[in-house]
Amino acid sequence: MNWAVLLCALVALSECNVKISLIKGKTARETLMEKGLWEETRLKFPYKPMAKFYQTGDEAMTNDADLSYYGVISIGTPPQSFNVIFDTGSSNLWVPSVYCSSQACQNHAKFNPAQSSTFTWANKPVSIQYGTGSMTGRLAYDTVSVGGISVTQQIFGASQTEAPFMANMVADGILGLAFPNLAASGATPVFDNMMSQGLVSQNLFSVYLSGNSAQGSVVSFGDIESNYYTGQITWIPLSSETYWQINMDSVTINGNTVACNGGCQAIIDTGTSQIVGPTTDINNMNSWVGATTDQYGDATVNCNNIPNMPEVTFTLNGNAFTIPASAYTSQVNSNGCMTGFGNGGTQQLWILGDVFIRQYYAIFDRQNNNVGLAQIA
Instruction: Supply the residues annotated as catalytic.
Output: 87, 269
Helix and strand element counts for the chain (H, E)? 8, 27
290: left (phi over 0), alpha (psi -120 to 50) or beta: left
How buried is residue 353: exposed, middle or buried, by Cβ count under 10 Å (0-12/13-18/19+)?
A: buried
Distance of alpha carbon 305 from alpha carbon 307, whole angstroms: 6
SS3 content of the chain, % helix, strand, coil (to 5): 20, 40, 40
Distance of alpha carbon 213 from alpha carbon 235, whole angstroms: 28
Which string of b and e fits 330-347 if b means at least 16 CB within 10 Å?
Answer: bebeeeebbbbbbbbbee
* DSSP string for 65-82: TT--EEEEEEETTTTEEE
* DSSP string for 115-148: G-TT-EEEEEEEEEE-SS-EEEEEEEEEEEEETT
CA nearest to 324, candidates 308, 311, 337, 309: 311
Q: Are 355 and 328 in contact (CB under 8 A)?
A: yes
Distance of alpha carbon 251 from alpha carbon 264, whole angstroms: 10
Distance of alpha carbon 361 from alpha carbon 228, whole angstroms: 7
Distance of alpha carbon 305 from alpha carbon 339, whole angstroms: 12
Q: Are 357 and 347 in contact (CB under 8 A)?
A: no
Distance of alpha carbon 329 from alpha carbon 337, whole angstroms: 6
